[in-house]
Amino acid sequence: MPINEFEKIARQCKKYTDYIYLHVLGETLLYPYLEEALKIVNSLKMKATVVTNGFLIKEKEEILLKHQPYKIVFSLHSFFDNQSVMPEKEYFDGVLSFAKKSSSIISLRVLDEYKNHPVISFIKENLSKNLHLNFTPRFIWHTEEDEAVKKTGSCLGAIEQFAILSDGTVTPCCLDYDGVINLGSAFAAPLDSIIKSERAKRMKDGFLNRRITEEHCGKCKFDAKRRGSRVQN
């Protein structure tokens, strides 16, 4: 997303929230305007969360230490799933030495299936007030090919959250990286008019009454039993 569009959108978001998550599936540390984006969020007195696989932490730590996002989430399972990218020692030394220097809240997210890995015991011994370890089940993303089986249920999409993709597409869903539920473009219209559109209102009213109005949500694999899930079936 061009940084001038980011700034325009962030200013409009201020009316609705203090929290900005700098990703929808993508790798935040690859964003070429990361430093400018953090400056903008801080200047608006908003709170940025960075979610990262951590592979680029050494290259980007200066920016993160200088602008101190409110929270940084390291998806450590990205390393366990892709161990050929870099040696284990190099990866965890990078993440843990950064965590020691940072005053952001740091969450180390690990899939349940990796919780017995030896490095996890080491991490547990090094937790602190701002360094947390969170376990979570593996999430199965739904695709357009899946059958829409759910007709009822609720979710915080369109009620408490919206996502804005890199091309400006506004969607009510933090999982909708393809913009299937496309409510409009934040590059072309005020955010206010998009999130108050008929489609967004219909979705919000539906969830408030446990009705699913979007086919995409009927396919959703989010599970109420999943820790941290915001979807209740």
Interaction site with ligand SF4 (CB under 6 A): 155, 157, 172-173, 175-176, 216-217, 220, 222, 231
Nearer to ligand SF4, 7 or 176 (CB): 176
Q: Quick check: 124 and 91 in contact, CB under 8 A?
A: no
DSSP assigned state of 128:
B
Closest approach of ligand SF4 to the CB of residue 48, in Å: 22
Contact 150, 220 (CB under 8 A): yes
For ligand SF4, the closer of residues 7 and 214 by Cβ is 214
Q: Which is nearer to ligand SF4, 54 or 157 (CB)?
A: 157
Q: Which is nearer to ligand SF4, 194 or 231 (CB)?
A: 231
Nearest-angstrom CA–CA distance, 40 and 55 = 24
Give least dist CB 209 to ligand SF4, A. Answer: 14
Closest distance to ligand SF4 from the beta carbon of 180 (Å)? 8
Pinpoint the alpha helices (H) of 26-155.
34-43, 57-67, 77-81, 88-101, 118-125
For the bound state, the minimum distance from the C-beta of residue 34 to ligand SF4, rounded and expressed in Å, comes to: 26
> For the chain, percent helix, then strand, then coil, each to nearest 5?
35, 20, 45
